[in-house]
A and B are shown apart, each in its own frame.
Chain A
Amino acid sequence: MIAPPTGWSDHPAARALAGRHRLRAWEPIPWLLALAFYFAFPKYLGFGTEVLVTILFALSLDLVLGYAGIVTLGHAAFFGAGAYTVGMLAKHGIWNEPITGLILAALVAALIGLGSGVVLLRTQGLTLLMLTLCTMALLEEAANLAHDYTGGFDGLDSLPIAPLLGWFEFNPLYPRTQYLYVLSVLLVCFVFVRTLVYSPFGQSLTGIRENILRMHAVGAPVRRRLVLCYVLSAAIAGVAGGVWAQANAYVNLGTLGLDRAATVLIILVLGGHGRLYGAFVGAVAYMALAHFLSKIYPTAWQLGLGLLLVVIALFARNGILGIVEAAVRRQHAPRVT
């Protein structure tokens, strides 16, 4: 008689689940490319820094939208909260050390995420979308009105950010420090988000995304999970806003606006949501395209982006990474006779 199997760890499904968090061979490539960019294009480091910040912001959105299925059009509220935290503390001479500044930016954004999330996340779909938009609009208007603290419509410029680790100056004209600094911050946040989405908590978020009613029926504290996810995502968006303000040495109402919130949503959809690296692909593709199109067609460049979006919405609902995944799956699929 054959002995009964002692465990299931060799089953393909169990192996897939047990191994999906392991580092894949290609995963260092984007980071090496980012480093190579630093050496290859010293004149474009300002642009590169902007791209890295956008990746970080899109990554924070991926956590709520791609994993937990929270549809938001107001994520710039947290980006702006982080940016204004850094900006106001520096401008008013209260605090200008960069790394602790980011932690404060994360805390402020997380608090706003908690306050708004507890209320907003009772709703779903279009209602939620509108309420996130309203929250952001309220913050923007508050920043506009509190002129004495925020600089109002003009924002705050020439922020006196202290040198990084007391040594590396942030030079807005030659942003070498900024580029490597933002890259490091992105790496730390990415490792955190990556760990999170492959954890049981991340698995339960995908459960909420896929079927919220079933999650209630398996006894999950759905709203608590959603709020927690929202707060963590807000904190990361706050960090993105914080590094943006530090790198540019200014902050303005644009950090809180619909334009930024909509752009990051487009970037994530373009790259592929719920895929971690969609933020990378989307930000690079969108910003590179916007950069070159605006050089070639200074008056009508947004038309090109619009057309691209229509194509993505019609033919590639899972974004660029979705196309790549489908192609890989076709390569590996066994031939059906």
Chain B
Amino acid sequence: MTSAPLLETRALRRNFGALAAARDIDFRLEAGARHALIGPNGAGKTTFINLLTGVVRPTAGAILMNGRDITAVPEAARVKLGIARTFQINRLFRRLSVLENVYIAVAERVGAAPSMLRPAGRRRDVVEESMELLDTLKLSADAARCVSELPYGRQRLVEIAIALGLKPGVLLLDEPAAGVPSAESHIILDAVERLPREIAVLIIDHDMDLVFRFARRITVLVSGAVFATGTPREIGANPDVRAVYLGQVARG
């Protein structure tokens, strides 16, 4: 008996009016995976992440986690199941400190957030864990600063820190290095490479250096459909994929 993959989609489809942003996507993410999702702009990569996290409901098809159908599970409950994501454009708590940004996520995960009559700072466990997490991302020196004062590259790290505060089993990184000046992009690469082994990571990025360095498996999405899946070597050698990336009409 083969064990079910950690996360799986079966014939997942999403239409926006006449546009099919996801066409019958069959996808498997194994435990501990380092999987990249690439494709031209408008290929439906972010829609796919929105489908996996429950932000967008599929028109048809199913999403399974450890073999269990979670298609109808709402967004917040999927987080509790261990699916966390970062955003292509920063979604931070802009006027709060870096520590508070992570505190909010950790407090939510450990169930401290509904507590009303105790000061937030008294939850030492939450503060300790948040600081520890910031330290692993080399952000502890900035912990007291307002997050909007940080350079953009470090703000992108806070994006990742918030997601890691949820202790996910599956981490979906939506263009973690987007908008980061090339002088800073190595800090994102380093952070992505040092993510805990046990987390299954799905990364979307246009930076082929990052993708080929990081991923052990690559899925190419074109016009909402899976165009090719394979190891970085296979994908790199695939002439059709090259054609798509050169903007020519691919022949299959």
Contacts and interface: CB of A to CB of B under 8 A. Distances in A.
B128 to A, nearest CB: 6
B132 interface: yes
A16 B144 contact: yes
Interface in B105-123: 105, 107-109, 112-123
A17 B118 CA distance: 13
B126 interface: yes
Contacts of A8: 127-128, 131-132, 135, 140
B120 A14 contact: no
B22 interface: no
Interface in A178-237: 195-196, 198-204, 206-207, 210-211, 213-222
Contacts of B113: 200-201, 203-204, 220
Interface residues of A, number: 36
A326 interface: no
Interface stretch (A18-26, A162-170, A286-294): A18-26
**Chain B interface size, under 10 / 10 to 19 / 20 to 34 / 35 or more:** 35 or more
Nearest to B85: A217
Contacts, number: 147
A9 interface: yes
B118 A11 contact: no
Contact of B117 (A13, A199, A203): A199
A255 B79 CA distance: 44
A125 interface: no
Interface stretch (B89-97, B178-186, B187-195, B244-252): B89-97
A203 B103 CA distance: 9
Contacts of B93: 206-207, 210-211, 214
Contacts of A201: 113-116
A199 B79 contact: no
B107 A14 contact: no
Contacts of B117: 195-196, 199
Given A13-B99, A17-B99, A201-B116, A219 B124 contact: no
B170 to A, nearest CB: 13
Contacts of A298: none
A13 B120 contact: no
B204 interface: no
Nearest to A22: B119
Interface string A1-34: 0000001110111101111110000000000000
Nearest to B129: A8
Contacts of A199: 115-120
B115 A18 contact: no
Given A195-B117, A211-B91, A200 B107 contact: yes
Contacts of B96: 206-207, 210
A211 B148 CA distance: 13
A210 B120 CA distance: 17
B93 to A, nearest CB: 4
Contacts of A204: 104, 107-108, 113
A157 B103 CA distance: 51
A210 B146 CA distance: 12
B98 interface: yes
A12 B143 CA distance: 8
Contact of A21 (B119, B124, B140, B166): B119
Given A14-B99, A211-B91, A203 B105 contact: no
Contacts of B119: 18, 20-21, 195, 198-199
B8 to A, nearest CB: 21
A222 to B, nearest CB: 8
Given A9-B128, A199-B118, A200-B113, 4 more contacts: A17-B127, A199-B117, A203-B113, A213-B91
Interface of A: 7-9, 11-14, 16-21, 195-196, 198-204, 206-207, 210-211, 213-222
Interchain residue pairs A-B with the least CB separation, the first 10: A219-B79, A18-B121, A13-B143, A8-B131, A13-B144, A210-B93, A21-B119, A13-B99, A214-B91, A201-B116
30 contacts: A8-B127, A8-B131, A9-B124, A11-B140, A12-B144, A13-B98, A13-B144, A17-B99, A18-B119, A18-B121, A20-B119, A195-B117, A195-B119, A198-B119, A198-B120, A199-B116, A200-B107, A201-B115, A202-B116, A203-B120, A207-B93, A214-B93, A215-B104, A216-B75, A216-B76, A217-B87, A219-B77, A219-B80, A220-B104, A222-B76
